[in-house]
Every structure is written in C-alpha cells, then in structure tokens.
Amino acid sequence: MNFSELLEKKTIQRDILKESYNLPKRSKILVGVCFNDIKSTKKILDGLAVLPANFIIFNTEIEKHEAKNIVFEADYKSIDMNGLDGILCSCDDIVLERVMELGVVPLVNEGNYLGKILTEFHPGRAEGNAYLYEKGSYWSAYYALIRYLENHKFPYDNRNLVKNVSWL
C-alpha cells in the first residue's frame, strides 16, 4: 500500500469511527488516549473537552464525561486503529511499531521503549516522527497534544509527519 492509499484508508476509517461513536463531524481529527495511570487520565480529561478534536479514551474505570467530543472504549484492541490520527499514551502496553505502520502519530513519554528511534517533530525541517512529553507529567502530555493539534492545522506539515511516522 502506498502513502496516498494509506491516507485515503485513514480518512474512510476515521469517518466510520466518528459515526459509530456519534462524535461531531466538524472536527477532522480523532485522537486516542490510553494511559495506564487512571489519575493522569482523569486530570487530562477536562482539558480535552475544550480542544478542537475528537477523543476516544481507552479506559473502563472512568465514569462518562459530558463533553460531546469524548467517548470511552474499554480497550484499544476493539477498534481499527487506522482511523486514529494520533495516540496519546503512556506506552506501557501498546506496540507502537504496529500503530505507527498505520500512520498513527505517537504522542508518548520520552522514556518509552523506542526512545532512540522516536524524535520530536520539527515542522520547519520536516524531521521527526513523534511528539514527546515528560514521563509522569500530565501537563507535559497535554502540551504535546497541543503541539500536535497545532501542527495538524497545516496539511503539508501534517503530511510530512505522517510520512515520517509510517516509514519507521
């Protein structure tokens, strides 16, 4: 599958996921959130409600949230990850290589198991393949998400990022 086919498949699958979860169609981006630490997930949850994106939170221990752009799913294995644009995770139980093959941008902690391969994306140089945050800091994770959402507004830069991610 070439890169154009990958992007086309992602768009179709993203729309299917948004429709199945009844997420707003106006936001073009869909991000998965998967932290093993329930405390980090709860702290970052209210901040997600105000962002111009849709989120699937992979957790069963949190009660439902009233935001229209947030839904909950028990496990990330139950959905087609190809529909996600990015995944904000603690990188403890997700095999990043498989997710990245699908063009899903990792927003992960600096101390992850792919630490020597993943580098911070710099749009001006079109280098890098992830957005990194300080391990254990939900503020740093939120900031990585904000940087990613800002980059996503620029189609050329986002295309370069997804290309770098999928070539790993």
74's tokens? 């028990």
- Cβ distance 54 to 18 under 8 Å? yes
Tens digits of residue pLDDT in 18-59: 999 999 988 889 999 998 878 888 889 889 999 999 999 998
Question: How far is 14 from 81, CA to CA, in rounded Å?
Answer: 9
Tens digits of residue pLDDT in 10-20: 999 999 999 99
pLDDT band, very low/low/confident/very high, at 74 (cuts 50, 70, 90): confident
pLDDT band, very low/low/confident/very high, at 151 (cuts 50, 70, 90): very high
More confident site: 36 or 88 = 88
Q: What is the domain-level CATH number for residue 150?
A: 3.40.50.2000
Q: What end-to-end distance do the CA atoms of the chain give, in Å?
A: 15
Instruction: Provide the number of structural domains found in the chain.
Output: 1
Which range has the worst mean pLDDT, 51-55, 60-64, 73-77, 139-143? 60-64
Percentage of the chain modeled with pLDDT above 70:
99
Write out the residue range of the structural domain in which residue 122 sits: 3-166
User: Given CA atoms 165, 15, 95, 65 in this order, what sign does their dihedral have?
Assistant: positive
